[in-house]
Structure 1
Amino acid sequence: MYNITTTGWVSEPNGRGTFGILRGCLITLGLCVYTALHINIPPEKAAKRQKFMTKAKWVLIGMFAPELVVFVAWCQRQQALKLSKDLQPVFEEQARDMPRNSRRHEWSLTHSFFAIMGGFAIDTNDLEEAPYIPGSPRLHLGPDGILEAARQGLIPDISREYIKDKSKADSLAKALVVIQAGWLILQCIARMASKLPVTALELNTLAHAICALCTYALWWNKPLDIEDPTRVVGESVRA
């Protein structure tokens, strides 16, 4: 006969283990890098593999040079702020001169981010001349193109909710990542304040978490993973 002893719940040891540190750091690192990225709208004929490779490229950049992602996010935010500032007098002038044709939806920073990420495009198949970009049936408008199209009254009057519906941003997922990153930051600060050792992996993950929070703040108004732009149509486009 064998004696079989059943064991109930066993609590974790008081000390920190290698697996626990690796698990917490790698999960936080992966979530911070992957969820913080807001990629621009891809070309229309881009294959799934091309989209995956673009995302993977930026994930690697975020892993090894997170400060570069923060810099790109800062540049895009400055570009979006400038576009909003440049468009404001254009829309105000149109509202005075043509009150019936004034925009019903206020232009927000989300609109500017949507614009600079390639959210407004011209379908070159409708043009009589050859496409601007060989092999691409649409032309994405940059900030200068958006400004000129706005002067011509060609920018579609879309709402902020319309852009959010196209976006795949998950507020709950972002909140969970922010909580996870914030907890790691507080944990490292508490250990250093108590003069307890902090591993090199934790310090590296701490730097990534801080960069991820900065990227979140800079890209807070930028839509996430939009694949199809809004078409700019009108007779002036053909001219």
Structure 2
Amino acid sequence: MRSSSGYIFVLIWVQSQVAQAYTTFEPECTTPKEAVSFVSSPPTRGTLDILWSSLFTIFACTWTILHLNIPKQRDTQDPGRLGDLKWGVKAIWGKAKWMLMAIMAPEYLLYNAAGRLSYAWEWHLKLKVWADADDIPWTLAHTTFASMSGFVVRGGSSRVGKEPPVPGIPATPINLQVNDPTPVSAADNEWYFLDPDMILRLRSERHIILPFISKSEIDDHSKGDLFTKGIAASQIIWTIASTITRAIRGLAISQLEISVIAFSLCALLIYICYWSSPKDVSVPITFLHWEGPIPPTITRVITEAIERRNSGLTNESLKVENGQTPFSNDFEYSSTTFKSTLPLILVFGALLFGAPHLLAWNSTFPTPVERIIWRVASLNCSSLGLVLYLTDELFNSLRTHISRSRRKRLETTLNFVQLAVVACYVLARLFLIVETFRTILFLPPSAYIATWTSSVPMFG
């Protein structure tokens, strides 16, 4: 009986502490006593105003900004409504996991986007030469579409496309035996993805001529036009302008809004990298058709390109299967031209995302301990890329001057250090995420004063 009374006392005490910590304020705004032509917005903003506008901007920075590769094709797999549900869930989960990655490490998405852009630009310069020779349009959107696995070659299909003749070049592919007696696959309908390397080799070795595919056709496959990208970018710019306005007026800025600024800065650069890239394309464009099986000369080029990209894998894992996407979304796009620059993008991205959190150095926190942890976590996120880059450069400079046995120990030490740095980064990011939402209940009064940006028609 005595223990029950003790439990009741503890529950009453906890409830009293929660009630004391959680308080509310209901603003009262008068209404006009008679009809007027214009009523201005109230000079205040509520907790939910801060929350919803921030959440929408984070959504724009992590979901709408994703430009993923063509997914694995369903074709005739899983027929029926259950199949529709399965592939629908698979498509949503494919984007959701990358959204989680964007929330945890947006600097990695910036690094990935910069790598994709440099990769596409390097191959675009090579492909444009052959496109001009074939007198067909070829833009950066074509190359980025190819790097997203947007083009396929098909065989055994009744839907055979007829390419327009190109002056000076035969109307049929050169060295191409459509009725080759040794087909690679027995499939009635085989189709394989192409990447820029494969397209360049097929054309430079004169196996094909480049088909006429307009940029409008690629844009038609994209579900993110310039207007959609502009709306998302406008929301991000509005958030940055709102925060700058509050800082100029000396008004308190919530930690959530500061975190949104960090997301916004990364997102704007990612949008720039993806500006020419199609978005949310689910079905590839047929690059070339053959009435019979795809000739071995074509599949040989495809297989050899995959072997160069995945050197060291077994022959079985190199097998090209129908519906298999050559490039996964986490493929590390590399560029020989910008090879030394890309690691610095990761350093810059980590600094770009972590540094804005330092703006809350002297902000209001529920406890002094949380303020100290916030400072440490912000410094950790800002310096992650630099620490990883310097340790890697140090190892590369030392490996040529030490013996093989010591090199192995040094490599083990380096891996341990980098793993520890990444683990600390993950813990720091988790704390910042939790704390940004926790501190929204402990804001000073000036945080609820609205500015002119609240009158601008934006989402949230």
* Counterparts in 2 of 1:233 and 1:11: CA distance versus 1, 3 Å: closer
Instruction: Look up the match of 2:265.
Output: 210
Partner of 1:77: 117
Q: Does 1:168 align with 2:223?
A: yes
SS of the aligned residue for 1:45 comes to: coil
In 2, Cα distance between the equivalents of 1:121 and 1:55? 23
Q: Is 1:123 matched up with 2:144? A: no
Q: Indicate if the aligned counterparts of 2:155 and 2:289 stay in contact, CA closer than 8 A.
A: no
Q: Which residue of 2 aligns with 1:145?
A: 198
Q: What is the deviation of 1:51?
A: 1.7
Aligned equivalents of 1:185, 1:68: Cα separation in 2: 21
Match of 1:17 in 2: 46
1:41 to 70, 73, 85: 70
Distance 1:170 1:62 in 2: 21
Structure 2 unmatched ranges of 5 or more = 1-29, 33-38, 76-86, 158-181, 298-460
From the CA coordinates, give the structure whose radius of gyration is larger.
Answer: 2
Q: How far does the alpha carbon of each residue in 1:180-225 deviate from its partner, in whole angstroms, 9 at most, with x for none? A: 1111101112222333221110011111111111111110000111
Q: 1:234 and 1:179, CA in 2 relative to 1: closer, same or farther beyond 3 A?
A: closer
CA contact (8 A) 2:156 2:294 kept: no
Change in 2 beyond 3 A, CA 1:237/1:150: farther
Amino acid aligned to 2:93: M
CA drift of 1:91 comes to: 3.5
- What SS does the aligned partner of 1:36 have? coil
Q: Match of 1:3? A: none
For residues 283 and 245 of structure 2, the distance between their equivalents in structure 1, rounded to whole angstroms, comes to 45
Q: Structure 1 residues 156 and 227, CA, compared in 2 at 3 Å: closer, same or farther?
A: farther
Secondary structure in 1 matching 2:288: coil
Question: How many angstroms does 1:13 deviate by?
Answer: 5.0
The answer as to whether partners of 1:123 and 1:231 remain within 8 angstroms in 2 is yes
The 2-side partners of 1:117 and 1:196 are apart by: 45
Aligned residue among 282, 298, 302 for 1:227 = 282
Tell me the SS of whatever aligns to 1:233: strand
Counterpart-to-counterpart distance in 2, 1:112 and 1:63 = 28
Identity across matched positions, percent? 31
Q: Which residue of 2 aligns with 1:53?
A: 93
Conservation of the 8 A alpha-carbon contact between 1:154 and 1:232: no
Could you tell which deviates more after superposition, 19-28 or 142-151?
142-151
Structure 1 position 114 matched with structure 2 position 145: yes
The answer on whether the counterparts of 1:39 and 1:225 sit within 8 Å (CA) in structure 2 is yes
Identify the residue that residue 28 of structure 1 maps to in structure 2. Answer: 57
Tell me which amino acid in the other structure corresponds to 1:142. Answer: D
Gaps of 5+ in 1: 1-6, 96-101
In the superposition, the TM-score normalised over structure 2's length comes to: 0.44
**AA at the equivalent of 1:141:** L
Secondary structure of the corresponding residue to residue 267 of structure 2: helix
Q: Distance in 2 between matches of 1:222 and 1:27?
A: 23
Deviation at 1:53, TM superposition (A): 1.4
| Segment of structure 1 superposing worse, 57-66 or 214-223 | 57-66
> How well do the aligned residues superpose, as a CA RMSD in angstroms?
2.7
AA matched with 1:177: A
TM-score norm. by structure 1 comes to 0.81
Structure 1 residues 103-131: Cα deviation after superposition (integer angstroms, max 9, x where no partner):
3x321101011110001123366782238
Instruction: Return the alpha-carbon distance in structure 1 between the equivalents of residues 88 and 140 of structure 2.
Output: 29
Q: Which moved more, 1:53-62 or 1:169-178?
A: 169-178
Name 1:63's counterpart in structure 2. Answer: 103
How many correspondences in the alignment?
A: 221
Classify the secondary structure of the residue corresponding to 1:123: strand
Partner of 2:12: none
Query: Bigger CA drift: 151-160 or 109-118?
Result: 151-160
Higher mean C-alpha deviation, range 163-172 or range 147-156? 147-156
4+ aligned runs moved over 4 Å, structure 1: 7-13, 124-127, 234-237
Q: What letter matches 2:232 in structure 1?
A: V
Higher RCO (C-alpha under 8 Å, 6+ residues apart): 1
Give the Cα–Cα distance (whole angstroms) in 2 for the partners of residues 125 and 49 of structure 1: 31
